[in-house]
């Protein structure tokens, strides 16, 4: 699994702190778990529904998995599926793009091409 975009969902305040600092250790759950939780395109909709169901002011960030080096590990999580976990700070220079992730009537509205 190399050379693809993977995703991180941030609350707006977390994203703004990340931009200001130039790096982040993630949300409180990431810090508690000791790694930054990321998702593939196939997983990110489920991640949004499971962990951010009622939250509307979110930012979706993409990074290239092959640019994260050996600190990115693919480990079993939900239902045994392999999820990307980053065992270092995420740097602003790792980010390919960021886009708002609004909440619509039927769930989050993802940018074209993500799902």
Q: What is the pLDDT along the chain (115 residues), one digit of tens a residue?
A: 458 999 999 999 999 999 999 999 999 999 999 999 999 999 999 999 999 998 999 999 999 999 999 999 999 987 888 999 999 999 999 999 999 999 998 899 999 888 6
Q: Where are the beta strands (DSSP E) in the chain?
A: 5-11, 23-24, 36-37, 58-64, 72-76, 82-86, 90-91, 95-101, 103-104, 107-108
What does pTM read for this prediction?
Answer: 0.93
CATH of residue 100: 3.20.170.20
63 is in which domain, residue-wise?
5-108
Q: Return the pLDDT at 115.
A: 65
Q: Which residues contact 61 (CB under 8 A, 6 or more apart)?
A: 7, 8, 9, 10, 15, 95, 97, 98
Domains: count for the chain: 1
């Amino acid at each position: 699994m190399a050379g693809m975009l993977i995703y991180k969902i941030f609350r707006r305040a977390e994203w703004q702190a990340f931009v200001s600092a130039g790096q982040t250790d993630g949300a409180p759950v990431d810090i508690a778990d000791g790694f930054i939780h990321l998702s593939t395109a196939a997983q990110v909709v489920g991640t949004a529904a499971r962990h951010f169901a009622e939250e509307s002011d979110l930012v979706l960030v993409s990074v290239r998995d092959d640019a994260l080096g050996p600190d990115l590990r693919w480990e079993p999580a939900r239902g045994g599926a392999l999820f990307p976990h980053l065992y270092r700070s995420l740097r602003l220079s790792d980010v390919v793009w960021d886009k708002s992730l609004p909440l619509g009537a039927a769930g989050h509205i993802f940018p074209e091409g993500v799902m």
